[in-house]
Structure formats: structure tokens, C-alpha cells
Structure 1
Amino acid sequence: MRHLLRRVLFYLVALWASATMNFLIPRLMPGDPAQAYVAKMQGQSSISAQTLQNIRIQFGLSDDPLWIQYFHYLNNLLHGNLGISLYQYPTPVAQILAYDLKWTVGLVGLAAVISFILGTLLGVLVAWKRDGWLDNTLPPLLTFFSAVPYFWMALGLVYVFGFVFNVLPIGGGYDTLTDLTVGWNMDFILSVIQHGILPAITIVIGSIAGWVLGMRNTMLTTLSEDYVLMAQAKGLSEQRVMLAYAARNAILPSITGFAMSLGFVVGGALLTEMVFSYPGIGFDLFNAVTNLDYSLIQGTFLVIALTMLAANFIADVVYTFLDPRVRQERG
């Protein structure tokens, strides 16, 4: 229990530090968001100072000292107020993130889970059959694909499956050209799946090599441990030794890495969302930086920070459950 309380305290401090950095970084960026908004929407090179000040007030921008702005920012966070988006005015940031987050988590999250599970299983199998044809073929092949620049891979998939064979849609989150009813109906679900296939394949191919190679190397070290050799000497089945003894201990270092990848999931695969015009908060972040949208930048980074901290806390708990030695040390 004391260990759990220490970890909770650590994550609370980390959350406060993340929120503070989240407040400071956008305000260190050059430029005036209000002037950028006026130039974009009105095409005016100059406006009166009073009009500009009214726009700043409407957007929640302030000329108060930085420390006063900081406490206003923390108070708004405690009340769930993330501000109003500039480039999607007057939509609240919370509403934008709530809509786009489900698209990012649905696509990138599912692809990350598939990549982790498939890569881990392949890594276990490759290490168990070391020096065989699978060990000599699969890791170099996956390393080659992972070395291909991310956007080139995405563009290649778009060209082959979208233009040459024309079997998969190449943009958007669902079909917007037909009278499709958005909701939990079969037509809409099938459309979402079809539009998510190419982005998901891009993410899986680009990330699976790391899981395979990491698991393979850890498995090779684990297979030489005494407890694995003892299990084999007892005559236990090959499947039980591979999974219950070797793989269970070899997967421990990957747990933290998977937790980190889940945190990056919420940030979205920015290039993927841009190439495939896929809705998500990664693309929102790009638009927010381009338009100096402080509120949306802060809201996006806050969601990413919360997800990273939550994922690492869950990984800490799972790591303790999987490794008896950790439980004994912390008991």
C-alpha cells in the first residue's frame, strides 16, 4: 500500500509538471494568435487596437502577468474548461478533443495493440526457433520495412490499393459521398473499417519490427537462464516452457515500452492522419500549431500527458503482478 501511495504521489507531481510545461510552451512561441486569426479570416493587414483587444478578450487571451495567467489556467483545468479553439471558433476545445479522440484511439490504438501482440508472438517464435529459416528471414525483412520512411510507405499503399487496384478508400474516416447514417449501424461500421485498413496497415508494418527484435533478443537471454533449463530437464512440454517460463519473463521489459507506445497513440500518428486525411487529434495538433491556437495546443498536450501517465501507472501495476521478485522487494 505504501508503494502504491508513493507511485500515486509521483504521478500527481508529474501531472502538475506536465500542466505547467503545457502552460508555458505555447506562450513562448512567437506571434500573436489574435492577429493570425484576423489575417486568416478577414484578410486584413491591420485593424484598430481596440478591435484587436476585443478579439483577444473573446478568445480568452490576456495581457495579465504570466503568474496570474497561470493560476487562471489551473483554475480552468480544475473546472474542466480547456478554452475555445481559434481555428474552429467558437467550438470548445473539449468538444473537439472528445470527437477526434475516439477516431485516434480507435485507429492508432487498435493498430498498436495488434502490432504489439503480433510482434511479441513472432519474437517468441523466432527466438525459440533460433538459427532456423524463420530467424534468418523474418527479422531482416521486417527491419527493411521499418526503415522505409513512414510517409513513403503510406503513399505507396495509397497508390497500390487506392489507384492501381482501387479496392480500398484512401481518405477520410468514413464514406461522406453517400447518404450514410452516422451511428452504430452496420453500414457505418463497415465504412469505418474500410477507411481504417490502409492507415492501420501502415502503422503495424512501421512498428512491428521493434517488437519482434526486442522480444527475440530478450528471449534469447532468458532461454539460457537456469529456471528455463530446469523446466526443460523436468520434461515439461515445449509449449509450456516457451510460454510459461521463457516468454512470461522475457516480456517484462516490453511492458514499459508498450505503455509508452499507448501514450503516443493518443498523440496520433500525425503523418498517417495527414496522408490519409484521417480525423484525429494528431491532425488537430498540426492545425493548432499552424494557427497559433493556444487552447487547442494545451488541450491536446494535456490529453497526451494524462494518457502517458495513466499508461505508465497501469504498466507499473502489471509489472508488479507479473514479476514475483518485484512484489517481494516492494512488500
Structure 2
Amino acid sequence: MVQGCEDLQAEPGLPHAPRVSYRMTEAAVVLAEPGTLAVFGFGAGAPSVDDPRWLRVEQEPFDAPTPLELWQVEADVIHGRDGDLNWSSGGGWLFAAIEPDEREHGGPVGAARYAYERLRHFVGGRAEHQVLRIWNYIGAINHGDGDQERYKQFCEGRAHGQGDFFAEGYPAATAIGHHGAEHHLQVYLLACTHAGERVENPRQVSAWHYPRQYGRTSPGFARAMTLPAQDVLAISGTAAVVGHASAHVGDLEAQLNETLTNLAALLASADMPAGFDTHSPLKAYVRHPADAPRVREILQQRLPGVPVLMLHGDVCRSELLVELDGWRYA
């Protein structure tokens, strides 16, 4: 039994959500624990670990030492590799990750297409075929003008690669720029044997309905996803977007406050309790390192006691300075 999971009251037959936490320890320690589905280290200082459940994320942390992110389930876990795709599963849950090199796939469009084709075919053949949450970390995400911006090209490749896999509705997702090698794309996901419930924000236009100014292919993601047992909300990357427009351009504090307002709206839409607590970990992606202390100060004031991992990441719109994502446990 994973510590804390016995407190969650799932409906009979529905899998308990993974317990996500941040922990100051060595990768080998948590990989040896029962129920470990995935472990994430952050930045160039994270070690190389030969285990399919381990991923070194190309996001540089602002704090040192940096905790690991740990996903644990209430079941035995098996893991393996399918070519260049790593995976693990247990308790009705699946972690899968792929890291294509754009140079081998003709650029960002081809790499995104390849990543999503591989994930679609692999996950589609599994019992855990309900994709609930995806993370996309993209090098130099805002480079390029107009439709040649790398994020817009990623969106085109993703749409081609996923085909009709999400015809019934998109998963929750994050797409953030990293400062590692530009050609290195990272995509990983959480899937389940059971479907979740998609949540939209009434303050925002759904991403797949964005107007043409945001690219030939609209982003495809839900604003959040309630996991099958209705005990956890998986929150997509959330920034200062109202309607479809970026708000408070150039004003860090106003953008962060707008982002927190959007998070509150998501919790209300999902019928989740207001606010966050010590069991609901978040990530803050900050574009400019000089802004990190102020972001940390505001979050400590507005979300006291909430674990927040501060990372140097570029939001998919160049005018946006900060983005939050994470988990809300009931």
C-alpha cells in the first residue's frame, strides 16, 4: 500500500489514482520501492538511470538540491521497452515515454508526428488505452515566425501522428519549451484502463476552437481531467489566457494572478474543493530566471504549504511569462 493512498475512497472497480509527490532522495531508492510507476529527475544535473521508469526531464530547476517527482500505484509494477519507447504498468495505469531526435525525423513536424504515432500504436494495443494526461517538452518552442514557429509546427505534427485516437475527446496536456538541445523532443503520458472526465474552463475558449491566428492546427488538449475514481484532478498547463487571448502582456504579477484565477475556475468546474494543499503538487514554469524569486514569493503567499517545483520553461506563447500545472487530490 502506497502511503496516503488508503485515504482515497474510489468507487468499487475503479483504480485509485497514482500518488504523485516530490521527494528528496536518490533515484535508486524510489525505484526499488513497491508500486513505483515512474520517477522524474530535472535538468542536466539529474543522473542517467537505466530503468524504463526513469526520465530525466529537460527542464532546469531553479532550486538545488532538486526533488525527484514520483508516481506510485497500489499494485505491483512491470516495465520494459518497445524499441525507443519506455513503459511501465500496474494497477490499471500505464506510463509511456518517447524522446525522438528531430534530426532523424525531418524537424519538429516529423518528430512530433513520429512520437504520437508510436504512442498511439503502443497505447492502442494495451488494456490501459485511455490516455488521460500528456506532457510535451519542446526545444526552442517559440523560435520561428508565423506558422513556422516551432510550437505551431509541433501542433501540426502531433495532429498528424495522433490521427483519430482522441476522436472522443482530448486528454489534459502540457506543452512547454525547454533549454536543452533544440532537437530533443520529450513526450510522456499517463493512461488508464478506465476513462476520465474532461474539464473545461468557462473563462477560456477550448483550445481546439482557437482562431487561425494561433496556427494552422489548433492545439488539442482538455484544460483538465478528472481521473476515473473522481478523486484527483490532473491540471493542464495553465497560464494567463482569458477567452483565447493572452492577458496582461509584460506584467508578471498580473499574469500569475490571472493564472491562479483560472486554476480556481477549473477546480470549481470539476466540483473539486477550492484551493490547494500539501498533497497537491504543482509545477511553475518561468520564462525568465530573474522572475523566479517573485513567482516563488507570490505562490508562497497565495498557496501556503503547497509543494511547487520551479522550472525554467518557456510558455508556448512568447508573451506569456509563467505557467502552472499539477494535481489536485480530493
Normalising by structure 1, we get a TM-score of 0.22
The structure number with the bigger radius of gyration is 1
Higher relative helix content: 1
Higher relative strand content: 2
Normalising by structure 2, we get a TM-score of 0.22
Larger relative contact order, structure 1 or 2 (CA cutoff 8 Å, min sep 6):
1
